[in-house]
A and B are shown apart, each in its own frame.
Chain A
Amino acid sequence: MELLQFVISGLATGSIYALIGLSFAIIFNSTGIINFAQGEFVMLGGVLTICAITLLKLPLLAAILAAVAGTTLVGIIFERFAIRPLKNATPLSLIIITIGASILIRGVVMLLFGKDTQALPAFSGTTPIEVGSATLLPQHLWIFGVTILVIIGSRLFFHHTITGKAMRACSFNRRAASLVGISVWRMVLLSFVISSALGSLAGVIIAPLTMTAYDVGVMLGLKGFCAAIMGGMGSGLGTVLGGLILGILESLGAGLLSSGYKDAIAFFILLLILFVRPQGLFKKGETERV
C-alpha cells in the first residue's frame, strides 16, 4: 500500500503548511496585512537552530528555543521599523514593504550562513516505525504532536484569555477595540510576535525531514498562504484542514503523477480557490469588503 505512505508524509508536510497558514492568518486578522516575509520566519527557525547547535554548541532543545526567540526578535524589529512607520498605508505599499523585508532577511541569512543546504538532526532518531504497510518516522510524530499542541494552545489563547480576546476584538473592528481601551498597536506587535514564533517553530520541526537553506522560505511561505486561503484566512480549524488537504494532495500528486510538478499543484489550487471561492473552502456566505 503505497497510498498510505503518501498520506502519512502528506499529513506531515500538511501540518507544517497548517502552522504556517495559521501564522499568516494571525497577522492578517490583526492588521489586514498579508506578510510576504512570513516564509522567511519559517526559514529562520530551521537555519538559526542549526547555527545554535553548530556554532554555539547548544543542546537541541536550547537551540530550538534560541532560534524561536531569535526569529521573534526579527519579527519585532520588522514590525517596529517597517510596518509601524507607515500609518494609513495602502495595501500596495504594504505588499512592497513586506516583499522588501523578505528579500532583505533572505539576503542577510545568505551572507552570514552561506548558501549550503544543511540538515538538522532528527529530534529522536530515525528508526522507522511500522504502521501497516507504511513507515512512520519519529520526526513525523513530533510534527503531529507539536501541531496538535499549537492548535489547542491557540484555541485556548484566542478564546479564553483576555489578551487573546482583545486581539480578536481588534480583528473584528480596530476602531471599536481602541475605543474600549485596547491598545491596537500593542496587539499588532503581539500578532507579529506570535506569528513569527509560530512560523519559526514550523521551520524547526520540518528541518530534519526536508533539510533547510536560506531560500526555503519562499515556497514554504507560499504554501502556508495557500493553506490559509483554503481556510478563508481564519485562524481556526479551516486553515488546519486546508494545510492537511494541500499536503496530502501534493504528496499524492508527486507520488502518482510527477514529482517535478509537485510545487505547481499548490499554486493551481491557490489560483483555483482565489478565482472560484476567495472566501475559502469552508466558509459560507459573502465576504464583502467595501
Chain B
Amino acid sequence: MLRLEGIGKRFGGLTALSGITFSVIEGSITGIIGPNGAGKTTLFNVATGIYPPSEGAVLLGEKNISALPPERRARIGLVRTFQNIELFGKMTVLENVMVGLHTQSKCGFLACSLRMPWQMSEERRIREKALEWLDFVGIPDLADVEAGALPFGKGRLLEIARAMALEPKILLMDEPAAGLNSRETAELAELIKKIRDLGVTVALVEHDMDLVMDICDQIVVLNLGTMLAQGTPREIQENPEVIAAYLGESED
C-alpha cells in the first residue's frame, strides 16, 4: 500500500533520516517505534509531504507521490493525525469534521457565496456524514462544542474522526496514545482495530509498547534516523539489537 524507498532527510548538516525502506501492507496495522529522536515524526512529515525528502521516494500503491503537496496526497487517500493534536480550535467539533469532508465535496467560491440549491444539499449531506463520523468515534454529543475547549482525550478522538472523514486508504497516526490515560488508551486500541476493519490501512508511531504489541501486525524500529529492525511483534521483542537500543535509553 504505502512504500518508502531509501528515504533520507537532512536539515542543513544534520542527517535526520537515511536509507529508510519498508512497506506498509494493505489492511494491516504497522507500528513505527524507536527511542526519542529516532526520526519517527520526521518520517511521517516526509511521508505526508510536509517536508520533501532529501533522497528516496514515497510510493502509494504503484504511484510515486514524492513530489505531491500534502493536500494532493490527502485527496488520494493518505491522511495523518498529529502528535500534539492540530485541531481547528476556533471551530466547532462538527465543523472540524466537516473540514475533513472537504475533499468529498466540491462547491467552490461562486456556489457557496450565491448559496446555490446544490450547495445547500451538499452542505446537508456533509453535515450528516460528519455526524456519522462523530458517532463512529463516540463523541456525537459534543458536536456543537468549540474544538479548542475539548479535553485532550476527546480532542484526540475528534482528530481521528476528522481524518476518517476523508475516507483514507491509509491513516498515519503520530503517537495517538500520547497524553491518554489507560482507559482511554484501551478504547483507542479498539477504535484503531475498528478502523482497520473498515479496510483502512493504519501506520502509527507510538511509545506505548503495550498498545503497539497488542494491535500491530508489523513493527518497524528506527534508531538515530536509520532502520534497526522490521518484523512481527514477537520477532521485535526478541531482537537483541532492539533490546540494546532501548536499554541504552532510560524508560520515560
Contact = CB atoms under 8 A, between A and B. Distances in A.
Nearest to B45: A290
Contacts of A285: 12
B interface SS class: loop
A285 B50 CA distance: 18
A130 interface: no
A241 B50 CA distance: 34
B109 interface: no
Interface in A247-290: 285, 288, 290
A285 B11 CA distance: 10
A286 to B, nearest CB: 8
Interface residues of B, number: 3
Interface residues of A, number: 3
Interface string B1-21: 000000000011000000000
A27 B125 CA distance: 50
Contacts of B11: 288
A290 B70 CA distance: 15
A284 B50 CA distance: 22
B98 to A, nearest CB: 24
A138 B147 CA distance: 64
Interface in B120-147: none
Contacts of B50: 290
Interface in B30-54: 50
B80 to A, nearest CB: 15
A290 B12 CA distance: 14
A290 B11 CA distance: 12
A221 B12 CA distance: 32
Interface of A: 285, 288, 290
Interface of B: 11-12, 50
> Considering the complex of A and B, which 3 residue pairs feature the smallest CB-CB distances, nearest first?
A285-B12, A288-B11, A290-B50
